[in-house]
Structure 1
Amino acid sequence: MRLIKNFFCSSSLRGTKQSHSANSGGFSSLKPDFAAMTKYFSMLFFVYLSLITNLSAQTQNTDNLYKKPLTDVLKEIQTRFKVQIKYSEPQVKDKWVNCADWRFRTDVDETLANVLTPLDMKVNKEKPGVYKLKEYEYYRWEVQDGWAYLDTLATKYHDKASWEKRKAEIKPELYQALMLSPLPAKPNSKPIITAKRVFDGYSVENIALEILPGVWINGSLYKPLNVKGKIPVVLSPDGHWEKQRYRPDCQLRCATIARMGAMAFSYDLFAWGESMLQFKYEDHRRSLAQTVQTLGGIRILDYFSSLKETDTSRIGISGGSGAGSHSILMTAMDDRIKLSAPVVAMSSYFYGGCPCESGMPIHQCGGGTDNVELAAMAAPRPQLLVSDGSDWTAHTPEHDFTYLQKMYGYYGVQNKVENVHLPEEKHDFGINKRIALYDFLIKNFKLNSAAVKDKYGKYDESKVTIEKENALYVFGDKGEKLPKNAVMGFENLEKLFPINATK
């Protein structure tokens, strides 16, 4: 306003005196100065903009929010603390930080926590001075916090009797948390089985089991040739790796198990593999995925337990990553599983980031639990934990495994839980992880090691035939054999569950 007042008091708006002819009576008039007027209106325009800007800022902060865009705050953090924060534009777009200036502290980590936690975001420290922005992972704890929580859980029991009481509390609640209590009615349909392909020491046939009306779980059954008597079964769910159960390492694993003398059933997680004929990839990232694939595991157990050739005293399960979490849960819930081998999966400080692992409230059962306590529910059945040095299993030998040894000790079989730790390896189901599984199966299921080892005593997977992906399909190359009553789309799947099914 002072600018306007000063402008009006200046001479810049005054006209210029002009003399007129005699008949004008000597009248003098003011002639407008257009240059001055242009300057005047320009200044008015800038004053207006200033007022609007100030008013907008005041409007934002009338509720004392003192907002700043997240991008600006991150840039300020980088400048002030001389660090680098990696992020993409979509991560920060349209995000604001309330009371931004008051969130700064003298410590960069505390400042980042103050800024990002209310936005459900966090940073991972890649190296000193370099951070990467991520969505906050509620299912991931700090290592020491995960260990402390497991120690707290362990105070609830001190011997076999108190632990069995704890198991009896948790188990039925798992079914309830997954909306599988009671179990849905089993469809009265026969499995869909493709033609058998015969290879060196084993055969493969693809199978689809209807687990709900119009919903199938698909897989490939690897069977040994020329085996007499009852045959053990190893359920082999596949995790979140690219190409799922069609991957060479998955085929190598299952075929080798078959060549040793056991059936291996390799199957898809929900909305992966052939399940994507009915559902979208995004549907795997919904909570109900955990329910559907758990039900799928139960139906698979139903099927193989009913076969005359199955040795029901030797049914095992082994999956890696997200399928490792699935293996832990299935073993905790179903006593028909006599052996388990979760690979690069179990951790007290990470519950699995996918909704198919932690989307339903299974970790709220028994007043709160975690994946290590669920793994302990396998005792006294043989269990192998395979861990590595580059993921959430990096600290398995230090705390989680010792807890499980104690739990198995309640039954006097501490040696029945084993840990093969590969500190130099990454998150995969590579050859050394497969060897650990083979050794464990040979030891506990009395399989034929000579059938899969060379003359030097080393495992030989070279006799396995890697099939093309479409050879492992049940419903044809383009899904043309999918039954007409197939449920299509997640919204129709939800109708098969209670109205409170979570999305």
Structure 2
Amino acid sequence: MDMNYWNKLLHLAQSRLRISGFWLGILSLFLSNNLIAQTQNTDNQYRKPLLQVLKDVETRFNVKIKYADPQVKDKWVNYADWRFRGNVDETLANILTPLDMKVNKEKPGLYKLKEYEYYRWEVQDGWNYLDSLATKYTDQASWEKRKAQIRPELYKALLLDPLPAQPNSKPIITPKRVMDGYTVENIAIEILPGVWINGSLYKPLNVKGKVPVILSPDGHWEKQRYRADCQIRCATIARMGAMAFSYDLFAWGESQLQFKYEDHRRSLAQTIQTLGGIRILDYVSALKETDKNRIGISGGSGGGSHTVLMAAMDNRIKLSAPVVAMSSYFYGGCPCESGMPIHQCAGGTDNVELAAMAAPHPQLIVSDGSDWTAHTPQHDFPYLQKMYGYYGVKDKVENVHLPEEKHDFGINKRIALYDFLIKYFKLNGNAVNDKSGRYDESKVTIEKENALYVFGDKGEKLPKNAVMGFENLEKLFYSTTSK
């Protein structure tokens, strides 16, 4: 029934039935409401405002749903009444999934409305997917075949096949600063023409012979690699006899001289910071002090995701320690961790399978009780033990789980890393122990942020050929890789 039909009906009532103006108004309102209902039901599939549907859910299932007004404003649910089921969880999934929304259950009877998070799965869903991946191999030979499929596809997914040509320039290195038992120098490495990755190299004060190197990518924490805990960790590793290279994520830290913080949350960020990690690996591998058989990597949070990826992609890494990062049901909440289609490689993969690619090299998984690593000991770690068992080295993968701790790189996480490095890279723990045999980090100098800059307090030393802005970076990258 269309508008013409109702208009004709009104005209007929007025001219033939001679009804009063009052009753004509009532009839008009009735017919108009029916027209609206017909329009909604025919053209818009029995839709209702999302706000009303959520209130209906609360009433029917006696629950509370938290939301902000902008989340529900101007949103409609098609076939609203038909999406209700016998339980609240299935009902909410039916209602919200078409809108790319979801709820988090904060406690029984209390839900919070959220935008759909592609990177966060239900725990059981992640476990089930990992189990399905595990059916693809049953021994070392079949697993090696699987690895041989995944690794080259990681490079392709990141648009790093082939790798862009490395600029013919020397690293920019600041004067060395001498501390108690170690030195620090800041380094910028040009990874594309006019694009640098910056970091600080911590070395033992007296390097004798070949020593290990630990790459230390930053995570998504305030103060970036300038944080006290980051400086403490790298300096302590140096005082124990290894080099530690602490470096920025893309558009993070000193990289923000060239790019905005918002650029970090673009898909290409994962490509650029992976390329940066590869170029740092090139650099440290060429140092005369480096023991190439003892190159490791350890980062936390987003730096932990980067750790897993780097160890999966490059066999030069002989030890890895992702901290509060690896999970079968969480793919990283930032495009720098999951923005490129690395998890679609070889028919689909996840971060735990990628972590298994480090086998048989030693690997430490540090987890805690307050984030997406809370269930690591229950499922993900046993999977890794099985994979390392294919090589007869089940004990070379370890999990230190801290159920009462939160998402950070605090003292107990650092202790776990120190113990692991002493065990497998033969570092000198006695050099950093107090009289009681405990780790003593008090001799580390916490430098001011600007002391760790390469390009000056205000970027005044940034080279003139520096690429400025993400748009120019995109043009440069795609022109470089298309050749």
TM-score calculated relative to the size of structure 1: 0.89
Of 372, 375, 378, the match for 1:392: 372
Give the equivalent residue in structure 2 for 1:180: 160
The structure with more radius of gyration: 1
Give the equivalent residue in structure 2 for 1:13: none
Distance 1:7 1:341 in 2: 86
Q: Secondary structure at the match of 2:42?
A: coil
Task: Say whether 1:152 aligns with 2:132.
Answer: yes
- Matching of residues 22-171 of structure 1 within 5 Å: 55-171=35-151
- Offset at 1:110? 1.2
- Offset at 1:301? 0.4
Distance 2:272 2:19 in 1: 80
Of 244, 263, 269, the match for 1:283: 263
Task: Say whether 1:333 aligns with 2:318.
Answer: no
- Offset at 1:402? 1.3
Give the equivalent residue in structure 2 for 1:30: none
Q: Secondary structure at the match of 2:188?
A: strand
Of 278, 292, 298, the match for 1:318: 298
Task: Say whether 1:426 aligns with 2:434.
Answer: no
Distance 1:47 1:179 in 2: 66
* Greater CA drift, 373-382 or 65-74: 65-74
Q: Secondary structure at the match of 2:401?
A: strand
- Offset at 1:373? 1.0
Distance 2:372 2:398 in 1: 18
Q: Deviations over 1:402-427 (max 9, x none)?
A: 11111111211111111111111111
Give the equivalent residue in structure 2 for 1:443: 423
- Offset at 1:172? 0.7
Distance 1:373 1:499 in 2: 33
Distance 1:213 1:500 in 2: 9
- Decide whether aligned partners of structure 1 residues 44 and 254 sit closer, same or farther in structure 2, where only a CA change above 3 A counts: farther
Give the equivalent residue in structure 2 for 1:482: 462
Distance 1:6 1:432 in 2: 89
- Offset at 1:362? 0.9
Q: Deviations over 1:174-200 (max 9, x none)?
A: 101110000000011111111222221
Task: Say whether 1:414 aligns with 2:394.
Answer: yes
Distance 1:451 1:337 in 2: 25
Task: Flag structure 2 segments of 5+ consecutive residues without an equivalent.
Answer: 1-9
Distance 1:46 1:449 in 2: 89
Paired residues of 2:213 and 2:243 also in contact (CA < 8 A)? yes
- Offset at 1:82? 2.0
Give the equivalent residue in structure 1 for 2:245: 265
Task: Flag structure 1 segments of 5+ consecutive residues without an equivalent.
Answer: 11-39
Task: Say whether 1:306 aligns with 2:286.
Answer: yes
Distance 1:225 1:128 in 2: 56
- Offset at 1:231? 2.1
Distance 1:154 1:123 in 2: 30
Q: Which amino acid aligns with 2:407?
A: H
- Offset at 1:45? 7.8
Distance 2:223 2:32 in 1: 56
Of 432, 446, 458, the match for 2:438: 458
Q: Which amino acid aligns with 2:342?
A: I
Give the number of equivalent residue pairs: 471
Distance 1:453 1:50 in 2: 85
Give the equivalent residue in structure 1 for 2:338: 358
- Decide whether aligned partners of structure 1 residues 353 and 500 sit closer, same or farther in structure 2, where only a CA change above 3 A counts: farther
- Decide whether aligned partners of structure 1 residues 128 and 482 sit closer, same or farther in structure 2, where only a CA change above 3 A counts: same
Q: Which amino acid aligns with 2:140?
A: K
Q: CA RMSD in A?
A: 2.2
Give the equivalent residue in structure 1 for 2:4: none
- Offset at 1:310? 1.3
Q: Secondary structure at the match of 2:477?
A: coil
Q: Which amino acid aligns with 1:209?
A: I
- Decide whether aligned partners of structure 1 residues 299 and 499 sit closer, same or farther in structure 2, where only a CA change above 3 A counts: closer
Identical pairs, percent? 83
